[in-house]
């Protein structure tokens, strides 16, 4: 009873709180990094060097007025941010944060199911509903158009990412997240060296899945006045925001586990580097995730936005054929080698 | 014990949501109830030990087919309620009652067959798997690629044909 | 009370009948399509329950095919619906009588 109900509940509480806290810190991180890229300083007033901005922003959002459009469908207007947020958090149930066991018996993942990767893909595809319903429930032109565009973008790139993850599954031989990390340990190489094409495809597809630059047309202010969350303000908008950052963390975590060896140290089979094992495995995991978050922010500061037809053309005519070719080449290599 | 609670909760949810799908006035609410129904069915698959089917149900049915329905509902957005006209040639009520009676007989038959009579276990042609393959996904994969390869390929051609057909039907000009 | 095969069969039969009632009493084509999906799901539950009872994975393989066929049918059916809607501006099947006078 204790270890099947109580401990997972405590793990879930820790993970959800960590996600919420990290999302608010990530907003500060993004603003600072983008500011430094543009030769300015970013938030500097609140706290030393602007560090307390992460606390000031949620307080502002909590105190804002909660406006619901008059003819909006009330139930769905309230439900849409929740449907957007819950899948983004549920996905973290299968992400393994490290190989140690806390207090001798508590694993650093909530559940290691043997269809872990497929679980992540399928739960992410539920998040599309939050966006569609947000646009529909707002009963207003701009959100509706933006939400249909966003949904079309998400389901197109979902196909490319799923195909690419098939080739990663072929390489690892298992769908379980811990199993993929152990496959990388057995192979002695991170999969980014074995499947570089898949790495690039999941990176680009992942950026499109989380509606980030250069694929953030559905929520761009210059194009669609805020996209599908135009009519949302205050805490409801904060839920969408939280969902987007949770999705960002999820893509960073997936790429870390699949391509960068998860909680393995660099060159896990070279014994000469065994002194690196002094650094705990969850520190390796968090550093690798941090590298991806920094790359996402760097891309946001640097690239312009894709136009919608260019975006769809990239997804359907470029990424999907490359992903299919990757699967075929991986399968042939797996049989021959 | 856990299975009992899970089964009764899930079956009440599934049947309740199905009734809501069929009786909701607003089509978008109907589609939402359908999604929730499919998610509960996916949990039933997990209870039955078919975890690959559960994630496929969420990925394909709840995350693909119902999104398609939602898109079409929004494209077909009507201002007047579509249920206004009723064709007087319809005989819905007597037909529904007849079906309900048949349904009741069928359910009674199932209960009688399972609990009152004692059925012997029928011989089934079990699928042959190598003994070292464990795990639901691997076993289904093995079956799909050895014994059931031809239906697998035919299903892929069917999906291709459906894709071409849907694009041709929905285009404005060829 | 132990959950036997009969429980799952009764659940599947009831879900199927709700789907049939939906097809018969609603006149909105999209609701009719969704009731057809309910019927397919009922069949899937039945297949998986029998698959576990008889310890035979063929039931689960068949469910994969049923899901594939349901996806194909939903796509084509909605394509037909869109083509009809462009001509008739309605989704009420009682008004879609283009082949009658």
With contact defined as beta carbons under 8 Å apart, do A127 and A84 qualify? yes
With contact defined as beta carbons under 8 Å apart, do B72 and B27 qualify? no
* Mean pLDDT over each residue of chain C, to the nearest integer: 88
Of C4, C20, C49, the CB nearest to B48: C49
H helices within A173-307, ranges in order? 177-187, 191-194, 196-209, 221-224, 235-259, 281-302
Q: Please tell me which residue, A314 or A146, carries the higher pLDDT value.
A: A314
Q: Which residue of B162, B165, B167, B173 to mutate against C (max C Cβ within 10 Å)?
A: B162
* Min Cα separation B82/chain C (Å): 6
Encode pLDDT of A209-225 as tens digits: 888 878 887 776 556 56
C43 — contact with chain B (CB < 8 Å)?
Answer: no
With contact defined as beta carbons under 8 Å apart, do A133 and A80 qualify? yes
All residues at 6 or more sequence positions from A321 whose CB lies less than 8 Å from its CB, including other chains: none
Instruction: Give the pLDDT band (50/70/90) at residue B152.
Output: very high
A contacts of B28 (beta carbons < 8 Å): 73, 76, 133, 136
Instruction: Give the pLDDT band (50/70/90) at residue C100.
Output: low
Mean pLDDT within C57-83:
93
DSSP state for residue A102 in the 8-state scheme: E
Of B63, B71, B137, the CB nearest to A122: B63
CB contact under 8 A, C30 and B95: no
Per-residue pLDDT, C36:
95
Residue ranges with strand state E in B100-154: none
Spatial distance between the Cα atoms of A311 and A154, rounded to a whole number of angstroms = 11
Cβ-Cβ contacts under 8 Å between B and C: the total is: 220
B contacts of A157 (beta carbons < 8 Å): none
CA-to-CA separations, C88 to A227, B75, C43, C81, C92, in angstroms, rounded:
32, 14, 34, 10, 10
Of B37, B73, B159, the CB nearest to C68: B159
* Mean pLDDT over each residue of chain A, to the nearest integer: 87
C contacts of B168 (beta carbons < 8 Å): 79
Structure tokens at C48: 């998986």
The interface predicted TM-score of the complex, written ipTM, equals: 0.91
pTM above 0.80, yes or no: yes
CB contact under 8 A, C85 and B139: no
C88 — contact with chain B (CB < 8 Å)?
Answer: no
* Min Cα separation B40/chain A (Å): 13
CB contact under 8 A, A148 and B74: yes
CB contact under 8 A, B166 and C78: yes
CA-to-CA separations, C13 to B143, C24, C52, in angstroms, rounded:
28, 17, 18
Mean pLDDT within C47-67:
92
Instruction: Give the pLDDT band (50/70/90) at residue A70.
Output: confident
Spatial distance between the Cα atoms of A299 and B87, rounded to a whole number of angstroms = 59
Choose among A121, A128, A84, A315: nearest CA to A208.
A315
Spatial distance between the Cα atoms of A224 and A155, rounded to a whole number of angstroms = 20
Per-residue pLDDT, A103:
79
CA-to-CA separations, A242 to A185, A229, A262, A283, A333, in angstroms, rounded:
34, 13, 24, 24, 41
How would you class C66 by CB atoms within 10 Å of its CB: exposed for 0-12, middle for 13-18, buried for 19 or more?
middle
Q: At what angle do helices A320-336 and A196-209 cross, to 10 degrees?
A: 150
Encode pLDDT of A242-295 as tens digits: 999 999 999 999 999 999 988 888 877 777 777 777 788 888 899 999 999 999
Does position C90 have pLDDT exceeding 60, yes or no?
yes
* Mean pLDDT over each residue of chain B, to the nearest integer: 83
Choose among B3, B73, A299, A207: nearest CA to C5.
B3
Mark out chain B residues that contact chain A at CB-CB < 8 A.
Answer: 26, 28-29, 32, 35, 39, 51-52, 55-56, 58-59, 62-64, 67, 70-71, 74, 135-137
Spatial distance between the Cα atoms of C57 and C62, rounded to a whole number of angstroms = 9
Q: Please tell me which residue, B106 or B29, carries the higher pLDDT value.
A: B29
Q: Euclidean distance between the first and final Cα of chain A, in Å?
A: 46
CB contact under 8 A, C2 and B4: yes
CB contact under 8 A, B58 and A148: no
Encode pLDDT of A136-169 as tens digits: 888 777 788 888 888 889 999 999 999 999 999 9
Mean pLDDT within B56-65:
93
With contact defined as beta carbons under 8 Å apart, do A216 and A133 qualify? no
Determine the residue of chain B that is closest to C64 in CA distance.
B53
């Amino acid at each position: 009873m204790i270890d099947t109900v109580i401990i997972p509940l405590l793990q879930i509480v820790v993970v959800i709180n960590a996600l919420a806290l990290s999302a608010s810190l990530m907003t500060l991180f993004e603003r600072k990094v983008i500011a430094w890229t543009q030769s300015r300083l970013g938030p500097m007033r609140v706290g030393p060097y602007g560090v307390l901005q992460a606390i000031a922003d949620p307080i502002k959002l909590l105190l804002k007025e909660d406006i619901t459009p008059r003819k909006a469908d009330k139930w769905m207007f309230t439900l849409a941010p929740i449907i957007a947020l819950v899948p983004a958090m549920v996905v973290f149930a299968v992400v393994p944060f490290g190989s140690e066991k806390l207090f001798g018996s508590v694993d650093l993942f909530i559940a290691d199911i043997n269809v872990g990767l497929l679980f992540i893909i399928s739960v992410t595809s539920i998040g599309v509903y939050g966006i569609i319903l947000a646009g529909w429930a707002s009963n207003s032109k701009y959100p509706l158009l933006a939400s249909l565009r966003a949904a079309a973008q998400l389901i197109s790139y979902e196909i490319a990412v799923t195909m690419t993850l098939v080739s990663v599954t072929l390489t690892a031989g298992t769908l379980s997240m811990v199993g993929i990390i152990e496959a990388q340990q057995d192979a002695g190489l991170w999969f980014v060296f074995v499947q570089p094409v898949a790495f690039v495809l999941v990176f680009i597809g992942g950026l499109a899945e989380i509606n980030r630059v250069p694929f953030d047309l559905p929520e761009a202010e210059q194009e669609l006045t805020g996209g599908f969350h135009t009519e949302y303000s205050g805490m409801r908008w904060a839920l969408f925001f939280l969902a987007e950052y949770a999705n960002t963390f999820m893509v960073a975590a997936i790429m870390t586990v699949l391509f960068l060896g998860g909680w393995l140290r660099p060159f896990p089979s070279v014994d000469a580097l065994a002194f690196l094992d002094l650094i705990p495995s969850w520190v390796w995991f968090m550093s690798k995730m941090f590298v991806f978050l920094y790359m996402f922010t760097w891309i946001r500061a640097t690239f312009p936005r894709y136009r919608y037809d260019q975006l769809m053309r990239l997804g359907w005519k470029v990424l999907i054929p490359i992903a299919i070719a990757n699967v075929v080449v991986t399968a042939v290599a797996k049989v021959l080698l | 014990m856990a299975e009992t609670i899970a089964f009764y909760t899930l079956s009440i949810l599934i049947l309740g949501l199905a009734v809501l799908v069929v009786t909701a006035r607003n089509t978008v609410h109907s589609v939402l109830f359908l999604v929730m129904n499919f998610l509960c069915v996916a949990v039933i698959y997990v209870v039955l030990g078919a975890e690959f089917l559960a994630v496929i149900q969420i990925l394909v049915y709840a995350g693909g087919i119902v999104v398609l329905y939602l898109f079409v509902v929004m494209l077909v957005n009507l201002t007047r309620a579509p249920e206004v006209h009723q064709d007087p040639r319809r005989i819905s009520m007597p037909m529904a009652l007849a079906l309900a009676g048949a349904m009741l007989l069928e359910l009674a038959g199932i209960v009688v067959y399972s609990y009152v009579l004692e059925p012997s276990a029928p011989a089934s042609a079990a699928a042959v798997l190598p003994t070292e393959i464990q795990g639901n996904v691997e076993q289904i994969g093995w079956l799909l690629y050895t014994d059931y390869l031809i239906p697998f390929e035919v299903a892929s051609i069917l999906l291709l044909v459906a894709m071409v057909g849907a694009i041709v039907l929905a285009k404005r000009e060829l | 009370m132990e959950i036997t095969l009969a429980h799952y069969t009764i659940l599947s039969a009831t879900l199927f009948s709700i789907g049939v009632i939906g097809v018969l009493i609603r006149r909105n084509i999209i609701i009719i399509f969704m009731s057809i999906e309910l019927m397919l799901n009922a069949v899937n539950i039945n297949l998986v329950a029998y698959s576990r009872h008889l310890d035979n994975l063929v039931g689960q393989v068949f469910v994969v095919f049923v899901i594939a066929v349901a996806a194909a049918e939903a796509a084509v059916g909605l394509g037909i619906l869109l083509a009809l809607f462009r001509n008739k501006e309605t989704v009420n099947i009682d008004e879609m009588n283009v082949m009658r006078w």
